[in-house]
Structure 1
């Protein structure tokens, strides 16, 4: 009996570490899942469900291309006098003012006098860099930021990091898909939100590391410009 007990002891001792490791992995995955779920809910809480006009005017207006009606909404704000000039950031390199004017026939005069096009930006991070350059050249200290509601948290994060001394006033554009049905009933919308949340978390980590002096390179690209000519603007975000 004693011999058999002694023979089984090493096996029992070998199983204990494996069981402990398995429990640790499962526990870690559970914590990660819960943390991600809580973070996703917090991210969703930042998204506006209706369009609200800016509470105040600003020196300039910047719109990031990539979503339906972003540019037209930004032009409406410019026409209403919410800003002195408008920067359209992320325009496809092959598109000209004439391409945009065809989609905005009522704003020809504004396009000629008060609109600047940025063709260099290919993602949200470079949108912020080009916006910083434009604002500094113009001497602007406040900007109204126009982009889709799901993209606004990341846009404000990147802009705040790029120009902490500039006041940012968000104007979130609500797309038709968001209006027509709840996001949790639409597979494409849910995938879009999950993808945007992942990008937001990655940007948050990179920005926090940069604050303590750790620069993460190379710059991550959301959607690099590599497609052929597009109708009016590049879908950079």
Structure 2
């Protein structure tokens, strides 16, 4: 009986991992939102966020988890952001250190700026957990659009992220990707 249960759990885990790995989220086309949220940490995220902003698909951009050593001028220089664009449209958040604190920092900023729709831009392998953490930090009235940056993650990266997602589900109680 115990061996069958263990086998069932292992099979369920393996099928879940396989589904997670082969159904990574994809980019979203043009869709207007109040803001775009970009947690730092992966290549292409900030460039995609700026593309959304410059295409007029969002009015503001919040970059969460910026290293405290990075100034706004350094950020602007690194990513080719004009000073006027920085002043009007890009806000850097320095409080977050991980995915959960990205969500908390972003939720505070969104509440302060009356954001009702947000486009979350993060790497495809990171999207499910980042979106779940964000949704858990926001009122149900705020709509989160998932805009994944495609990548070619290694098997180990997928395995690690899948386990982090399972841990988040276990500790926060999500079962369908929402709060």
TM-score, with length taken from structure 1: 0.68
Trace 1:49-88 onto structure 2 (pairs within 5 A).
51-54=27-30, 56-88=31-63
Aligned to 2:161: 196
2:7 counterpart of 1:42: no
Displacement of 1:72 in angstroms is 1.0
* Structure exhibiting the larger radius of gyration computed from Cα positions: 1
RMSD over aligned Cα atoms: 1.7
For residues 106 and 129 of structure 1, do their structure 2 counterparts lie closer, same or farther at Cα, with a shift above 3 Å needed?
closer
Displacement of 1:45 in angstroms is 4.5
* Structure 2 gap segments, 5+ residues each: 175-179
Displacement of 1:29 in angstroms is 2.9
Aligned residues: 173
TM-score, with length taken from structure 2: 0.89
2:141 counterpart of 1:174: no
Tell me, in whole angstroms, the C-alpha distance in 1 between the residues paired with 2:135 and 2:163: 19
Tell me, in whole angstroms, the C-alpha distance in 2 between the residues paired with 1:161 and 1:46: 22
Partner SS state of residue 134, structure 1? helix
Given that 2:28 and 2:146 are in contact with CA atoms closer than 8 Å, whether structure 1 keeps it comes out as: no
Partner SS state of residue 125, structure 2? coil
Which consecutive segments of 4 or more residues in structure 1 shift more than 6 A? none
Tell me, in whole angstroms, the C-alpha distance in 1 between the residues paired with 2:113 and 2:27: 28
Aligned to 2:134: 159
Given that 2:35 and 2:58 are in contact with CA atoms closer than 8 Å, whether structure 1 keeps it comes out as: yes
In structure 2, which of residues 75, 91, 106 is the aligned counterpart of residue 100 of structure 1?
75
Aligned to 2:177: none
Trace 1:82-231 onto structure 2 (pairs within 5 A).
82-105=57-80, 107-163=82-138, 164-175=140-151, 178=152, 189-208=154-173
Given that 1:75 and 1:107 are in contact with CA atoms closer than 8 Å, whether structure 2 keeps it comes out as: no
For residues 46 and 162 of structure 1, do their structure 2 counterparts lie closer, same or farther at Cα, with a shift above 3 Å needed?
farther
Higher strand share: 2
Displacement of 1:137 in angstroms is 0.3
